[in-house]
A and B are shown apart, each in its own frame.
Chain A
């Protein structure tokens, strides 16, 4: 699309003042026309110009005064917290009164802004130009407490049944009490029958669990490769000018060293930089990362959002806070160590355009780049391959709610806001949000594009991370079973079953496995006849079947998981699955303990500690 006359004049002015060179202007004009963005977006995305200088020249081009809002902050009496999101998305806000007229500060002067401002503040207004970074900082400063409070409590206040702020609701406590009482009464009055009954229930549950996962993998494996190929072709064919603005949230905490690598990964995305709205979301107390981000000299498409200190200090809270400043049509979350495949955003846009209108989110596949570091990273990779490459496509094809994975979830931003975004009290807020999306009548899709992450390579750290996940699954299970009938009605019987086996199955299997392993070992080693009464022959057969078929089936599913990526060298490691299950069980009990003691505590996973990441970080650090 041809450049606007004002942008052409701005370009001439910038060259005339020798702020940029003529070749730079030509390239920027080319980019702006190709991407269908303002000249400024193209220039700032190339880092050829100091943003302040750019906005000063921009003001001069429109013959408007330039204001440094850091040294001259806006009059707080003019600002409304309810309009904060409008200020952030329009990059326009009231600044001060002067001579009886309201001065409007804007980073995007022009006819559209004039019309918008008049509709909101009347005709008695004048404009000053500010840097967009100053507007973002001004909003953060003016509304720090209010936005922080919203980030924490919005979901709990608007949709309290969906928030994990209360761990156990009163009806849940009563139900648990009645259930335990019934079991105790049964044990007192008819101990053998009660134990057999429990045994039958657990055995049937085990059977359902592995049959369900087998069906999911089978269905997921039949996902049409042709469709993925079509999406890939369509993604490549998308014209840059038709691509929407994409917000990228990168919440970070004490990860200063990861910043250069992160910026590099985002620059590598095959998406017009001028249409990226990248927010590096940092905690106010994390001074080291804030300083590193400010001194790194990132392009103008990177913005730093400082999240005020408040409890709970969780990733979802940080994301909720940053969401107020998002300007994209779509939004994605990446972790600091993520390396998305370059065409990911294009594929997401292409998939959204082909998907039903109720598609709220697309989940990309996750995998690890440090696969071969040690046994744990190999097993973790197999686990992820099963989860993201087989199971999630299966859930998608069967129309079941999909618990989202940690990163690379791409949202339609309007739906995300409508759903009150993430639950900051849930430590697997992504899984919870995926289920909530399903409950609210929207769907989650899966995209055939991978983001590579760093796998935890130390068992202690892995257990910490997994125990947080399992604790979060427990929270999610508790939240969504508060109104079981409502849940059943909204997601359907299949969705309900999927939720019970998928979320509940992951939790319960981790907790129950050690008990049954112990039973089996005692039965095998001591040939204990004392177990015989609670294992009548048909039940013994069912338990044996579960033991053999369950172990066999899960080993086989894990064995199949790496085939899609051609990582056949991982296949033999599937025979060591039992060791991995032991770790999962340890994490499950740790998660349960934490759920009781400290349900909202977010246990941070350290990144950049693998040999692979260290090797990658060194040259980048050296270069900066």
Chain B
């Protein structure tokens, strides 16, 4: 009861603080592309605008379904992704606090450690990035602790724990999938030597089976419903190219000129900078292999996942993996007993890790860095214009717009209901017959960054400039125009 009384304020504080932070980020257009797309998709799905087949085949599955559920349950203008992300952070904070107390840390020290871990720059970045990154963080924590359990006992529950954590990772974030695949060669080291000696391959099979089976099953469902089993890998490929360009913009050719190697080294450095506690504590207990090996295996998988994502191009940019640093620090506090004997050192290293986390982010997250610069320089962006245009369309039904291209438009409007997006029949008919017949239509400037890929702009090149016959502009900003169809009496 006492513990519950203590943990509740910590969780609540984390929740409110993060929600506020997210709101500020959204208001300033700082939301990550993936989070924005997820938010718009979830909002559209929650309004019943997406067939169930597309919902179940959506990826990343867990954040999408959770956000859709929250968007469906919550009032129209609730920032569902921020709510989900903040809730997850609050849960992680509560879990860390309880675990720290359970292993014997004094309550005050546990509280400070929890704040330093839960508000670590990498975790804050994950919160702003959205539910996918927070699910990734949660399952990484589960995996790291499961690896420690596996090394200690290697029983059924422990194998199951690692297997389910890997599966959860694969369905949380594309990089979670990279993490799961990268884990395969390292898992044998995480199992008790006596067990792995007899049939190492079979142990690894048992550890990765849930992930591989679930991926195969998900591909099958994707194939049955939307009709293409691998469609969910499209977006990550885009995000990697954006990241690569940003890396080159910030760092030029890097250390070796070989991006895979450079990014792996950068991730290794970011982990060490973000979690010096893990480095020092594991060094102190270097003779006790069952305490050292799981931490090393976890770090090795993180670095390998970075390399895999850059090399393969399948899993998007590797930035999100940096959240492994606070996760590893938390796991070390929970599992490595020496932490409890050196409380001062622990807190000092956590503070150092917080500062190191900032440095780590500058190394591995050039996109956000350049995005900050962009926002600072321009004081706004096409995304803010889309949000404003969406706001202007609030309360209007039958708005034709390519919201797949401009998800911020949906968020600005609050709800997807009333938008006739690319999944709708009027949108398809408009493109097919080159004729617009909806009450409203919204298009970005074809010269703008977002307008280049807008399907309405492509089909109606003069729509933004001249409007459609019988329509007139009811709203415009730097990027967007919203037109309304005039009735016979000249009203709309």
Q: Do A and B come from one complex?
A: yes
- Enumerate chain A interface residues (CB-CB to B < 8 A): 217-218, 220-222, 225, 389-390, 537-538, 541, 544, 548-549, 552, 555-556, 559-561, 563-564, 566, 568-569, 571-572
Task: List the A side residues contacting B203 at CB < 8 Å.
Answer: 568, 571
* Docked complex: B191-228 residues within 8 A CB-CB of A: 195, 198-199, 202-203, 205-206, 209-210, 213-214, 217, 220-221, 224
Contact B51 A537 (CB under 8 A): yes
Task: List the A side residues contacting B224 at CB < 8 Å.
Answer: 544
Distance to closest chain A CB from B220 (angstroms):
7
25 pairs from A and B in contact (CB 8 Å cutoff): A218-B157, A221-B155, A225-B155, A390-B156, A537-B51, A538-B52, A541-B53, A541-B56, A541-B221, A544-B224, A548-B221, A549-B217, A555-B209, A556-B163, A556-B210, A560-B160, A560-B206, A566-B195, A568-B195, A568-B202, A569-B198, A569-B199, A569-B202, A571-B206, A572-B202
B153 interface hit (Cβ, 8 Å): yes
CA distance A302 to B221 in the complex (A): 62
Contact A559 B209 (CB under 8 A): yes
Q: Is the interface of A mostly helix, strand, loop or mixed?
A: helix
Task: List the A side residues contacting B156 at CB < 8 Å.
Answer: 217, 220-221, 389-390, 560-561, 563-564
Distance to closest chain B CB from A129 (angstroms):
56
Scoring B52, B206, B224 by chain A CB atoms within 10 A of each residue's CB, the highest score goes to B206
CA distance A549 to B213 in the complex (A): 9
B154 interface hit (Cβ, 8 Å): yes
B7 interface hit (Cβ, 8 Å): no
Contact B157 A552 (CB under 8 A): no
**Cβ-neighbour of B52 out of A389, A541, A561, A564 (below 8 A):** A541
Chain B 37-63, CB within 8 Å of chain A: the 1/0 string?
A: 000000000000001110010000000
CA distance A538 to B53 in the complex (A): 8
CA distance A209 to B224 in the complex (A): 25
Task: List the B side residues contacting A552 at CB < 8 Å.
Answer: 210, 213-214, 217
* Docked complex: B126-178 residues within 8 A CB-CB of A: 153-157, 159-160, 163
Known contacts A389-B156, A568-B202; 8 further A-B pairs (Cβ under 8 A): A221-B157, A225-B155, A541-B53, A549-B217, A555-B213, A556-B209, A559-B205, A563-B195
Task: List the B side residues contacting A559 at CB < 8 Å.
Answer: 205-206, 209
Task: List the B side residues contacting A221 at CB < 8 Å.
Answer: 155-157, 160
Contact B205 A544 (CB under 8 A): no
Distance to closest chain B CB from A393 (angstroms):
10
CA distance A101 to B210 in the complex (A): 79
Contact A571 B220 (CB under 8 A): no
Task: List the A side residues contacting B202 at CB < 8 Å.
Answer: 568-569, 571-572
Distance to closest chain A CB from B157 (angstroms):
3
Distance to closest chain B CB from A395 (angstroms):
15
Task: List the A side residues contacting B213 at CB < 8 Å.
Answer: 552, 555-556
The 9 tightest CB contacts between A and B, nearest first, are A221-B157, A568-B199, A548-B217, A221-B156, A571-B202, A552-B213, A568-B202, A560-B156, A222-B157
Contact A571 B199 (CB under 8 A): yes
Q: How large is the interface on B (under 10, 10 to 19, 20 to 34, 35 or more residues)?
A: 20 to 34
CA distance A559 to B208 in the complex (A): 11
**Cβ-neighbour of A217 out of B56, B160, B206 (below 8 A):** B160
Q: Is the interface of B mostly helix, strand, loop or mixed?
A: helix
Contact A563 B198 (CB under 8 A): no
CA distance A369 to B202 in the complex (A): 21
Knowing A548-B221, A556-B163, A560-B160, the reply to whether A571 touches B52 (Cβ < 8 A) is no
The A-B contact count (CB < 8 A) is 72
> Considering only CB atoms, which chain A residue lies closest to B220 in the complex?
A548
CA distance A220 to B56 in the complex (A): 31
Task: List the B side residues contacting A538 at CB < 8 Å.
Answer: 52
Task: List the B side residues contacting A220 at CB < 8 Å.
Answer: 156
CA distance A548 to B215 in the complex (A): 11
CA distance A548 to B57 in the complex (A): 14
Task: List the B side residues contacting A566 at CB < 8 Å.
Answer: 195, 198
Task: List the B side residues contacting A572 at CB < 8 Å.
Answer: 202, 205
Distance to closest chain B CB from A305 (angstroms):
40
CA distance A561 to B206 in the complex (A): 10
Distance to closest chain A CB from B13 (angstroms):
32
Task: List the A side residues contacting B214 at CB < 8 Å.
Answer: 552
CA distance A541 to B53 in the complex (A): 8
CA distance A217 to B163 in the complex (A): 14
CA distance A15 to B160 in the complex (A): 64
Chain B 176-196, CB within 8 Å of chain A: the 1/0 string?
A: 000000000000000000010
Contact A568 B153 (CB under 8 A): no
Scoring A389, A390, A548, A569 by chain B CB atoms within 10 A of each residue's CB, the highest score goes to A548
CA distance A389 to B51 in the complex (A): 43
Knowing A218-B160, A538-B52, A568-B198, the reply to whether A563 touches B217 (Cβ < 8 A) is no
Contact B159 A563 (CB under 8 A): yes
CA distance A269 to B52 in the complex (A): 61
CA distance A31 to B395 in the complex (A): 94
Distance to closest chain B CB from A93 (angstroms):
53
CA distance A559 to B159 in the complex (A): 10
Task: List the B side residues contacting A548 at CB < 8 Å.
Answer: 217, 220-221
Contact A225 B153 (CB under 8 A): yes
Task: List the A side residues contacting B206 at CB < 8 Å.
Answer: 559-560, 563, 568, 571
Distance to closest chain A CB from B206 (angstroms):
5
Distance to closest chain B CB from A155 (angstroms):
37
CA distance A102 to B238 in the complex (A): 102
**Cβ-neighbour of A560 out of B51, B159, B198 (below 8 A):** B159
Distance to closest chain A CB from B8 (angstroms):
26
Task: List the B side residues contacting A571 at CB < 8 Å.
Answer: 199, 202-203, 205-206
Task: List the B side residues contacting A549 at CB < 8 Å.
Answer: 217
Task: List the A side residues contacting B210 at CB < 8 Å.
Answer: 552, 556
> Considering only CB atoms, which chain A residue lies closest to B153 in the complex?
A225
Distance to closest chain A CB from B28 (angstroms):
39
Task: List the A side residues contacting B52 at CB < 8 Å.
Answer: 537-538, 541
> Considering only CB atoms, which chain B residue lies closest to A547 in the complex?
B217
**Cβ-neighbour of B53 out of A225, A537, A564 (below 8 A):** A537
Task: List the A side residues contacting B157 at CB < 8 Å.
Answer: 218, 221-222
CA distance A218 to B210 in the complex (A): 14
Chain B 107-123, CB within 8 Å of chain A: the 1/0 string?
A: 00000000000000000
Distance to closest chain B CB from A108 (angstroms):
48
Distance to closest chain A CB from B225 (angstroms):
8
Distance to closest chain B CB from A221 (angstroms):
3
CA distance A569 to B195 in the complex (A): 11
CA distance A390 to B157 in the complex (A): 9
Distance to closest chain B CB from A210 (angstroms):
13
> Considering only CB atoms, which chain B residue lies closest to A223 in the complex?
B157
> Considering only CB atoms, which chain A residue lies closest to B196 in the complex?
A568
Task: List the B side residues contacting A556 at CB < 8 Å.
Answer: 163, 209-210, 213
Distance to closest chain A CB from B19 (angstroms):
32
CA distance A163 to B67 in the complex (A): 53
Distance to closest chain A CB from B262 (angstroms):
38
CA distance A568 to B203 in the complex (A): 7
Scoring A220, A389, A559 by chain B CB atoms within 10 A of each residue's CB, the highest score goes to A559
CA distance A571 to B205 in the complex (A): 8
